Amino acid sequence: MTSKFRHVALIGKYHASSAGPTGDSLRQALEDIAHLLERQGCEVVLEAETASNTGIAHYPVLTADEIGSRCDLGLVVGGDGTMLGIGRRLARFGTPLIGINQGRLGFITDIPFDAYRTTLPAMLQGEYEEDLRPLMHAKVVRDERTVYEALAMNDVVVNRGATSGMVELRVEVGGRFVANQRADGLIISSPTGSTAYSLSAGGPMLHPSIPGWVLVPIAPHTLSNRPIVLSDATEVAVEVVSGRDVSANFDMQSLASLLHGDRILVKRSEHCARFLHPEGWNYFATLRKKLRWNEGGS
């Protein structure tokens, strides 16, 4: 049978320090998956950093931008961190992504490695569930100039240095003053990121279909300063009032050092990441498996 996807890019783990496959195990995994794709009639290419990290040399190599403009599908092998990295880069192209997880179960790389042989063929024939995840667009404004810009899929985090005290942050939503918050930091999380750092800081889980964000203080000085769910149609502004070694992190994969008076402006991006899941996938099944709800149940 002919695959619905003609040109498929294989993307492996980006960062050697994160969980997941490295070295020979990643190379073997990618080669095994490539052979399956070829049997399904797909033309396989490798993402450039993946090819460099693994030494696989017998497939064409493309940059992320070239994948976005030339490929019908990206197939990611690794964990959620790998998917976040490539998802941000391919979102503006609308390239769909399938995630195969090696290591811990991921929320967005949700196909276990030992199941890809039985799962992928049906998905390549068009039997899948599509899941759109809006991105966040953030910028750092200093003296009315934008000094840093980034996209985030999970969260934008403003926090203190490792050895410094609390920070004070002025928060505005839709141009309206909310509060000056004294805390270790502040998380602005998307529904996708609500099961990541936001959850560990006491924030709620948001279903991916909700057009909202959650604002979560990290270890707030005032205990009544609680997480709040916001519409993602409004811009959130965070101004650094005081604190030392303050920084802004974007999906914990890029960082900007901040000065007093800097403003971090976060709004919904025009781009969405497109995830494809096996037919029958649903968000609650992922939560049950990842968070071990109702262990022993169906």
Quote the CA–CA distance of 176 and 244 in Å, as a whole number. Answer: 26
Q: Is the pTM of this model over 0.75?
A: yes
Coil, strand or helix: which one is 106?
coil
Length of the chain: 298
**Residues taking part in catalysis:** 80
pLDDT digits 0-9 by tens, 19-76: 444 457 888 999 999 999 999 999 999 999 999 989 998 999 999 999 999 999 999 9
Largest CA distance in the chain: 62
Distances (CA, A) of 158 to 86, 167, 216: 23, 9, 11
Among the ranges given (105-109, 152-156, 185-189, 257-261), the one the predictor scored with the smallest mean pLDDT? 105-109
Neighbouring-strand partners of residue 9: 45, 74
- The per-residue pLDDT for 23 is 56
Fold of 135-270: Tumour Suppressor Smad4 (2.60.200)
User: Same fold for the domain at 7-126 and the one at 135-270?
Assistant: no
Residue 295 confidence class, pLDDT cut points 50, 70, 90: confident
The answer to whether 20 touches 112, Cβ cutoff 8 Å, is: no
Distances (CA, A) of 290 to 13, 105, 110, 174, 284: 20, 7, 10, 34, 10
- The per-residue pLDDT for 25 is 80
Among the ranges given (17-21, 127-131, 191-195), the one the predictor scored with the smallest mean pLDDT? 17-21
Residue 140 confidence class, pLDDT cut points 50, 70, 90: very high
* Domain locations in the chain as residue ranges: 7-126, 135-270
Quote the CA–CA distance of 158 and 177 in Å, as a whole number. Answer: 18
Residue 3 confidence class, pLDDT cut points 50, 70, 90: confident
Regarding beta strands 212-218 and 228-231, do their DSSP bridges make them parallel or antiparallel, or are they unpaired? antiparallel
Quote the CA–CA distance of 7 and 42 in Å, as a whole number. Answer: 6
CATH superfamily of 7-126: Probable inorganic polyphosphate/atp-NAD kinase; domain 1 (3.40.50.10330)
The answer to whether 179 touches 189, Cβ cutoff 8 Å, is: no
The mean per-residue pLDDT over the stretch 93-121 comes to 90
Residue 16 confidence class, pLDDT cut points 50, 70, 90: very low
The tokens describing 39, both together, are 């049997």
Q: CA 62, 66, 72, 76 torsion: positive or negative?
A: positive
